Structure 1
Amino acid sequence: MKRNRWYSTAEPTGEGQIVIIGGFVAGGYVNRNVPNIDPEFEGGAADCTYEYFPAKAAEPQAFKFLIQTSGLNAYAHTFLMPSGKMFVQANVSTVLWDHDNNVETPLPDMPGGVIRVYPASGAAALLPLRPENNYNPTVIFCGGQDMPEDHWGDYAFPTVNTWEFPASKDCQRIAPEPEGGRAVAYEQDDDMPEGRTMTQFITLPDGKLLLVNGALNGTAGRSLQDRL
């Protein structure tokens, strides 16, 4: 890669390349300092750019969405859409992204302020594509964390004992490129029986999704203490 990064996202394009998106430079709990006065670079600790593999001649370009979602933008959820654009979700924000031209179309925010990306680590999956809806893609999210924004802290620590904070049981679905002129909107799905963080979907051969693993409280990530 042209940049040192981890906690980044890799998503295939329709042309067979891979877009590598964002990440930490030096690691930590969440991708920000507090006060967050430099959301693009975080003093050299964050990389809000994207690049390709195999590498292109151009240098990595800034992805404004990652700056907007500063802090909670590690392992952004991405799904390639039929148009060639990418659905991208991080923090509470969502966009449809034309990566070829670096143009973003804002989509609705995640309802309820639930964080799905690391370290909230909710589950996300593309529902099976079916002929009855013309193979139009729908993305589903379940679990994660809805802690208040200031609880997430910074690279070093959260500001609360996260293991005492219950995970979310909320599920939402969204069709990023709906047909028939319908507006893009998140739709409430059934809640899970209990909250889960650090969970994941497995798509089964019969088209059902199995949700496995996780914890009832807390988040992913590591810190030796909180800031209390």
Structure 2
Amino acid sequence: MSQRMRLMWIPNQQWRWMRTAATLVLICWIIPQVAPAQDLGTWELLLENAGIACMHAALTRFGTVVMIDRTDIGASQIGLPAGVCRDSDDLVLKHDCTAHSVVFDPVTKTVRPLFLQTDPWCSSGQFMPDGSLMQTGGDFDGVRKIRTFVPCEASGICDWVESTTQELQSGRWYSTNQLLPDGRQIIIGGRSAFNLEFIPPNANGPLYFPFLNATNDDQNDNLYPYVHLLPSGNLFVFANRDSIEYNYLTDTVVRTFPRIPGEPRNYPSGGSSVMLPLLASNNFSIVEILVCGGAQYGAYLNSAAQMTCSNTCGRMVVSDPNPTWAMDDIMPIPRCMGDMILLPTRDVMIINGAQQGSQGWTNAINPAFSPVLYYTYASPGYRMLTMAPTTIARMYHSTANLMQDGRIFIAGSNPHQFYVFDVDYPTELRLEAFSPHYLAPSHDLQRPTVTVSPLQITYNTPFTVTVSAPVTLAGPPEINLVSAPFSTHSYQQGQRVVSLAVSSSVQIALATLYQITAVAPWGPTLAPPGYYMLFAVNEAVPSTAVWVLLST
């Protein structure tokens, strides 16, 4: 290289270095102010062996989680108390001294066995206004059973009680429960059950429900129908690809909605659905339904093909005069058997599931390890964010429940008829918790704490919420009520978020302490009576919830 070339080369290299350094300085200055690194959540193993595979789960007002599996599988891996056994006509084990339901305490990370006599396989349930869990149907000797669990403190001895004087009017297997404004439960559908009924029962017996007959196909894609109580008091009912607005008081179909494009969405195709949060800011006048995932038609009938699951989401404003499905959102990965969890921030977490196949024994492969965060109020096409993955497959018969500290409790996955452990996708007895992005330490300065007075609130009546935070709040926090649903088969029965009106916010003596006046929901069609988690949310960061009882 000549001296002249060296002289040219050195300044050019210096210029390139200087330009690169300047670019890096500019990027480092911009990124913290415009786009801080997105926290993608973290996973925690809560318990190595819960003793049972969790087919159904529900969070109680004491913060414990009731977990249920079927009984006709032989022995579980957790024993009943000494001297307690179950005698039945089960095909596998007629004298069984193991438990098929447990209650998990997240504080001590321990489980306590519960006693179930009849089989709750693929049953349904929901909490009653007094906080008791009503659990209905199942298979074999459980198909008409009504079971009740009255929760107690973690140190208590509460257990299942199965009614010996009342039973369902029709056998229920793969049905859906919804708490009604008057405190009754409506139970819709089930395998070969094209009808509905109420608890307490009505005098006319089960009512024929033609919609379920019309949505049936060779795969029975109308099982576990999605049922959402609308603020009008009517029910939104979705099965297969169709949906209606139903007035259960007059037994009439008020409206028929357009068919959702794409694949079947209900069991066994394994999509999921939520009614998006109801907002005081629009006087609860905008009601939107979100349905995501599912399986190609034929995936269940031809399980060996392991067809790719759906990656589409449909969103419809059912309160519009002429509603249509908007199919603008594509999930980052295809998913069936995913659970959709309404978060206290009013966004949605899509978690669990598989990328190929359908629900049913050994019908799916390729687990969907990564949750997806769905930003409810972002623009179409920008609503999805892939979160940190787990290492545990959560496919058929897995559950997900929002906890009062904002984590998501994850349990179950049993793609087999019995407990099987030496296969690619074994029966899963481990319990996990997923901490969403808002629980990251980087949000600790925004995280509020909340107390409520009184703990029992009355419809359409103001009440006081005291909120504190480590630093001065930018403005009044959101006050959101979140129900505790019954989680099973990729659908959270009774899931609901109601964002309340805040009529005043007063900063008191301490600079970071606020007294907020919120107004309870105006009526039971907006939020049925019962226990709710109350979250204060500051700049998209929620508090730990306080349980409140909403009543007349």
* TM-score normalised to structure 2 length: 0.33
SS in 2 for 1:88: strand
| Alignment-derived partner of residue 215 in structure 1 | 354
Q: Which residue of 2 aligns with 1:109?
A: 259
Partners of 1:137 and 1:83 lie apart in 2 by: 10
Contact 1:162 1:217 in 2 (8 A): no
Which whole-Å deviations, capped at 9, do the CAs of 1:129-188 have from their partners, x for residues lacking one?
2233332221101111132xxx26xxxxx442356200000001112222xxx3121112
Shift of 1:210: 0.9
Q: Are 1:168 and 2:304 an aligned pair?
A: no
Q: Which runs of 5+ in 1 are unaligned?
A: 25-45, 153-157
Q: Would the alpha carbon gap of residues 10 and 162 (structure 1) be closer, same or farther in structure 2, given more than 3 Å must change?
A: farther
- For 1:145, the equivalent position in structure 2 comes to 295
For 2:221 and 2:179, the matched residues in 1 are separated by: 22
> Residues of 1 paired with 2:184 and 2:288: CA distance?
23
Paired residue secondary structure (1:173)? strand
CA distance in 1: counterparts of 2:169 and 2:349, whole angstroms: 37
CA distance in 2, matches of 1:99, 1:159: 33
Contact 1:163 1:219 in 2 (8 A): no
DSSP 3-state at the match of 1:168: coil
Q: Do residues 188 (structure 1) and 355 (structure 2) align?
A: no
CA distance in 2, matches of 1:185, 1:72: 22
Distance 1:170 1:162 in 2: 23
- Which of 80, 96, 114 in structure 1 is aligned with 2:229? 80
**1:118 matched residue in structure 2:** 267
Question: How far is the alpha carbon of 1:60 from its aligned partner?
Answer: 0.6
Say whether the 8 Å CA contact 1:202–1:211 is kept in structure 2.
yes
Distance 1:187 1:133 in 2: 21
The percentage of counterpart residues that share the same residue type is 31
Instruction: Tell me the distance in 2 between the aligned counterparts of 1:133 and 1:14.
Output: 21
Tell whether 2:171 aligns with 1:4: yes
Secondary structure at 1:66 match in 2? helix
CA distance, structure 1, for counterparts of residue 282 and residue 339 of structure 2: 25
Q: Give the 5 Å matches for 1:46-57.
A: 46-57=192-203
Deviation by residue 1:46-92 (Cα, 9 ceiling, x = unmatched): 11110001112111110010110112111000101111111011111
- Please give the residue correspondences for 1:89-104 in structure 2 after superposition, counting only pairs within 5 Å: 89-104=238-253
Cα offsets for 1:74-131 (capped at 9, x unmatched): 100010111111101111111111111221121111112x211111111211111223
Tell me the equivalent position of 2:544.
Answer: none
| Structure 1 counterpart SS, 2:346 | coil
Q: What residue number does 2:51 align with?
A: none
Q: Quick one: which amino acid aligns to residue 74 of structure 1?
A: L
Cα-Cα RMSD: 1.7
Q: Which runs of 5+ in 2 are unaligned?
A: 1-167, 364-552
**Is the alpha carbon distance of 1:162 and 1:210 closer, same or farther for their aligned partners in structure 2, counting shifts above 3 Å?**
farther
1:197 to 336, 350, 353: 336
Instruction: Answer yes or no: is the 8 Å Cα contact 1:166–1:216 preserved in 2.
Output: yes
Structure with max Cα Rg: 2
Aligned equivalents of 2:325, 2:276: Cα separation in 1: 14
Q: Which residue of 1 aligns with 2:209?
A: 63
Distance 1:18 1:189 in 2: 34
- Residue 128 (structure 1) aligned with residue 295 (structure 2): no
Q: Residue 172 of structure 1 aligns to which amino acid in structure 2? A: G
What's the secondary structure of 2:290's corresponding residue?
A: strand
State the aligned residue count.
Answer: 191
Q: 1:217, 1:199 → 2: CA distance? A: 12
Question: Which SS does the other structure have where 1:190 is aligned?
Answer: strand
Partner of residue 155, structure 1: none
Q: Name the one with the larger strand percent.
A: 2
